Every structure is written in structure tokens, then in C-alpha cells.
Structure 1
């Protein structure tokens, strides 16, 4: 009887120990959450970030994401530091824009590539909070009717060109009421049409327009600024749909926004001529 009682006590002690270990395991795992060794990261120990290939100013300078010069890579390195990563722990993955916004598994933790947050995209990918909402800019060659436009009505009379499936094309339709824009597959096709006189103007987010008129089509100019589109919430970081890292990244993003880091990056890289006319209606 005594031996049986001892055996029962031994089994109870083992069961209690197993329960304590099992209860402690989630605590041990959660202790790594929101740290560079978080097991939810694409590769624990590093922050893997997707972006375009190649990349362009003013978003990233010198076609070098790791260089840290530019609005987007400057933001990523500030965000990474807030999350506890060193610059050396940030790893960049190149991809096309279409690959970024497509549904399915992603080879990174998040992507940054001037990606606008929209309702349609939010059905297949997840987004961070918006960190930047650019104005739209009208791009045209000197001497065209676009230069003298002062109202949406004037703008509607122009021959427009835009890339299919973009928020720029949505803006022409939904905000300006342009229903007959020439539609192209690639941005380079729009610029070629502009230079050939086949269209009068195109539209782009202001920072993109700054680069276009400085580098890609130096004969063109920004002739007017337009208000932001309420249907285009602005730029956000893109994640694989349902990625559990979103809340951690959002917390860090809020911190650098509140400290003025993003405003400083905007002032450094994304400022336009303050004398440009603004057309609001």
C-alpha cells in the first residue's frame, strides 16, 4: 500500500512538472515577440524588406536601397532602429510593383514601393497605417494648354495619358472627370506619348513627378498641383495578407511619425516649388 501511495505521488509530481513546463513554453516564445529574433519574421535575426528593382530618386538615391539616402530607405532604416535592428540586419529584396501587390506569399516582412493603400488591394494584402499622402501633379510640356489651366473644367479639355490599373488613372476618372484618357501599359509609354505630342499631360504623385521632370523627361515640367484623392488613403507598407507583424511595425511607425522623423524626410526629399499653382476645383 505504501509503495502504491509513493507511486501515485510520483506520477502527480511528474504531471505537475509537465504542466508547469507547458505553461512556460508560450511565455518563452512570446518573450521573443517584437524583437529582432521574433520567430514571426520572414528570417528571424533580420528585417527583410521588399522594394523595386531598380529604385529611383527621390524615393531611394543612387539605385542603392542599402545606402539609406532617399525618402523610403531613410524611413525603413529609422523604422528598423525603432524595432531594435541594426542597419546591417536590414536585408533588401528586389521585385516588380505587380509582384508586390499580387496576392500570395511574400519573400519579405514588408514592402515599400510607393504603394497606395486602397480598399481593393486591402482584400488581398495587408497594410500598415498610412505614412505619407502625396499631392498629385500635372506634368506637361511647355507651351501646351495645360500650362494655362486654372480649373478642373480646363483640365478636362486636355488630352490625357495614364497607365492602366494605377491610382493616377483612377484620379483622372474619379476626381477630374476625365473619361477619354489614352491608356498605356507602362509609364515609359506615357512619357513617349507626351514627348511625341500625342497627349497634352499626364498625372503622377508629386515626388514621382519631381523625378520625371528632372531625369526621365527633362523637357517636361510640373505645371500645377492637385489635391490628394480621398479614395487613395496614401502610401503604406505592404505585408502578406494576415501577417502578424503588422501591429509591431505599426507601433514603431507611429513612434517615428510622432518624433517628426517622417516630416523631416519629406522636407529633405519630397518638397516641390512653393510657387506652383494649385488647382482645387
Structure 2
């Protein structure tokens, strides 16, 4: 065999060895790519750990989500961040008006949403929900000098609500029953609260924890005069078929059982939870 032929064969062999090494290197990373977060089941296969998850939230709903020094804080914010830590993703919050959240999920504009969203059958037709994470009722908030003490006193009153909420649904129901003269809708609950303080509406029907927080921080100007039992439960919402539902549910269960949920609840609601959903 000539020297030139030996050199040619050596080069060919080197190229083959290099190609085999490259194939092995590409094929050996299977454990670090897509995997099921937190184990199998509940339709979670294919979720990437370490991913950024876009989370829609109406960040004007204290104590669940609001801005402090330019950063989102609150019950829902802490809850979602801890869920993400356990499930292997980082939530990136986007401020969205409440009535735009469900349509946005339906159009896949967001990966998830947490915003004190009550689980209803109507919403279930459009999005998937996590297991419940909060029990809530509605409430009647008025100015402290008001003669209104219950829904039965509303008569010719004008009631403010936030558009697209279960509070708005309840107020509309009362109006159909002839118990409320007028229902005025606002884009945010803060707008409704401001209208109440300024005398533009006579009362606000809204989720109890939020109205109670507003009363507690109003220097005595506002008060909750009636709890309106509705037995609502909040859930985290997702586009239909999302592979986040399983990991989120597992993280929620862990947090409820190890005391983390109760700690977040007491931090933002100001008391221990009477019951955990």
C-alpha cells in the first residue's frame, strides 16, 4: 500500500470516528430536555422544566394581586411563584383587564392565569382549571355613613361592580329580581371603589376578601355590611389541553399538606384559613 493511500485511509477513518462521536453526543442528552414535571400522569408529558410561563392577572385586586414599588405582590403572586418553583417553571406576570383573561387564554395569548378567578361551568367550557385554591363569597360594601345595611335596603340604589366578575353576575341577578335599581360596571374594582367613595354609586358588590381589605384600609370610610353567601372557589386557569395543569395540581397539593398554603393565606388574608379547599 502506497504512503498516499495510507494517508487517504487514515483521513477517512478519522472522519468516521468524528461523525460517530458527534452522533453519540447529540443522542446522549435525552435526560436534560423535555420531561414530565413532577412525574407522570394528569396529561403532563412534554412539559419543559425551567421554562418561563406567561401568567395573566388583573393586578389591581388587593390582596390577591397588586403593585407595590412597581412589582406585583399578593396572595396569588406568592402562590404562583411557589407553585412554579416546585413545578419547574418561572411565572412571568402580565397585567390584563379581568374581562380579557378568559378570551386571552382561549386565544393562547397566555400560558396560565391567576386572578381570583371563580371556577364556573361557563368558564370551564372555555378554559381548563386547576383544583380549587381559595373559598370565597360575595359581599356588600358601602360608605360608613350609609343607611344601607343589607341587599334588602338597596331599593333605588346604584350598585357598582367590576365587569366580567361573579360579583357583577350577582348584582345583575338582584336587579332582575327588582332589588336593585341600577348596576354600573367598571373596568377595575379600584374604579368601583373610587366611585363609591366619591358618591357616584351607593354600594359595591364584590368578592368578600377584596372588599374587606378595602374597608380595612379606608380609614373608616367604608365598611362591609353583609356577606352574600355564594360558595365560590378560585382556580388557576389554562388554555384547553395545557400540560401545566398536572404539575400545578401536584404543587398545590404539596403546599396544602406541608403548611405553605396556610402561611401564604395568613400573610395576605390576615388570619388562618378556616378550611383548605
TM-score of the pair, normalised by structure 2: 0.68
1:201 to 200, 203, 208: 203
Measure how far apart 1:28 and its partner are: 7.5
Measure how far apart 1:205 and its partner are: 1.3
Q: Which stretches of structure 1, 4 residues or more, deviate above 6 A after TM superposition?
A: 27-31
Task: Note the residue ranges of structure 2 that are not aligned, 5 or more in a row.
Answer: 1-29, 272-277
Match of 1:117 in 2: 119
User: How many correspondences in the alignment?
Assistant: 232
Range 202-211 or range 168-177, more displaced: 168-177
Q: 1 CA distance for matches of 2:162 and 2:139?
A: 15
Q: 1 CA distance for matches of 2:162 and 2:77?
A: 25
Q: 1 CA distance for matches of 2:199 and 2:154?
A: 17
Match of 2:261 in 1: 262
SS at match of 1:264: helix
Measure how far apart 1:29 and its partner are: 10
Q: 2 CA distance for matches of 1:192 and 1:79?
A: 33
Measure how far apart 1:243 and its partner are: 1.3
User: Which structure has the larger Rg?
Assistant: 2
Match of 1:6 in 2: none
Match of 2:96 in 1: 95
Task: Note the residue ranges of structure 1 that are not aligned, 5 or more in a row.
Answer: 1-26, 273-281
Match of 2:76 in 1: 72
Measure how far apart 1:31 and its partner are: 7.9
Change in CA separation of 1:32 and 1:196 when aligned onto 2, cut-off 3 Å: closer
Range 112-121 or range 182-191, more displaced: 182-191
Measure how far apart 1:35 and its partner are: 5.2
Measure how far apart 1:48 and its partner are: 0.9
Report if aligned partners of 2:34, 2:46 keep a CA contact under 8 Å in 1. no
Match of 1:163 in 2: 162
1:59 to 64, 71, 78: 64
Match of 2:274 in 1: none
Report if aligned partners of 1:50, 1:95 keep a CA contact under 8 Å in 2. no
Match of 1:48 in 2: 53
The CA RMSD over aligned residues, in Å, is: 3.4
Change in CA separation of 1:95 and 1:163 when aligned onto 2, cut-off 3 Å: closer
TM-score of the pair, normalised by structure 1: 0.67
Q: Does 1:105 align with 2:107?
A: yes
SS at match of 2:136: coil
Report if aligned partners of 1:161, 1:201 keep a CA contact under 8 Å in 2. yes
